[in-house]
A and B are shown apart, each in its own frame.
Chain A
Amino acid sequence: MRLSKPKPIAESDAKGEVERVYHEITQVLRVSGINLNFRTWAGYGQFLPVMWDAIRANLETRIFEDAADQIRAEAVRMAAQLGRVDVGSRLSLGESQSYQIKKALDLYHYINPKLLVLTSAVRLALIGQQFSGATQIDFDLIERGVPAHMYPMEMVSDKPDDELVKNTFKDIRRTLSLPSINSDYRTLALWPDYLATGWSGLKPIIQRDEYRQATDELRATAGKLALTLPYAIDISMEKIKEIGENEEVLEKTESFETLLPGLIINIALLEFGWHSPEALSCSPFPAERRQDAREAIGR
Chain B
Amino acid sequence: MNWREFQAKQRVMEIGERFVSYIDEGSGDPLVLLHGIPTWGYLWRDLIPSFSGNRRVLIPDLLGFGYSDRSDRFDRSIARQAEMIDAWLEKLGVERASLAAHDIGGGVALRLAVFFPKRVTRLSVMNTVCYDSWPIEAMLQFGHPETYRKLSASTALTLLKKALKQGFASKPSNELMDGLLAPYSTEVGKLSLIRNAAALNTNLTTEITGLLPRIRIPTRIIWGEDDRFQAVKYGERLAWDIPGAELVRIKDARHFVMIDKPEEVSPHLMS
Contact = CB atoms under 8 A, between A and B. Distances in A.
Contacts of B22: 96
Of the listed residues A93, A151, A154, the one surrounded by the most CB atoms of chain B closer than 10 A to its CB is A154
B175 interface: no
Interface stretch (B67-75, B80-88, B98-106, B120-128): B67-75
Interface string A131-152: 0000000000000001011111
Contacts of B72: 152
Contact of A156 (B12, B186, B192): B186
B8 A94 contact: yes
Interface in A1-38: 10-13, 32-33
B155 to A, nearest CB: 11
Interface residues of A, number: 26
A157 B19 CA distance: 25
A197 B42 CA distance: 26
B10 A94 contact: yes
Given A96-B67, A146-B73, A152-B71, A10 B187 contact: yes
A154 B189 contact: yes
A32 B11 CA distance: 24
A95 B186 contact: no
A149 B17 contact: yes
Nearest to B150: A12
A140 B7 CA distance: 44
Given A12-B152, A96-B67, A100-B67, A152 B188 contact: yes
Contacts of A51: none
B10 A96 contact: yes
Contacts of B171: none
A12 B149 contact: yes
A287 interface: no
A189 to B, nearest CB: 10
A11 B187 contact: yes
Contacts, number: 61
A97 interface: yes
Where chain A touches its partner, the secondary structure class is loop
B122 to A, nearest CB: 27
B148 interface: yes
B154 to A, nearest CB: 8
A157 B191 CA distance: 15
A181 interface: no
B39 interface: no
A155 interface: yes
Contacts of B11: 94-96
Contacts of B9: 94
A99 interface: yes
Contacts of B230: none
A92 B149 CA distance: 37
A57 interface: no
B71 A151 contact: yes
Nearest to A146: B73
B13 to A, nearest CB: 9
23 contacts: A10-B187, A12-B187, A13-B149, A33-B188, A94-B8, A94-B10, A95-B10, A96-B10, A96-B12, A96-B21, A96-B22, A96-B67, A97-B7, A97-B8, A99-B19, A100-B21, A146-B71, A148-B73, A150-B71, A152-B70, A152-B188, A152-B192, A154-B70
Q: 4 smallest A-B Cβ distances: which pairs? A: A154-B188, A96-B10, A94-B8, A96-B12
Interface of B: 7-12, 17, 19, 21-22, 67, 70-73, 148-149, 152-154, 186-189, 191-192
Given A100-B12, A148-B17, 5 more contacts: A93-B8, A94-B10, A95-B10, A95-B12, A152-B188
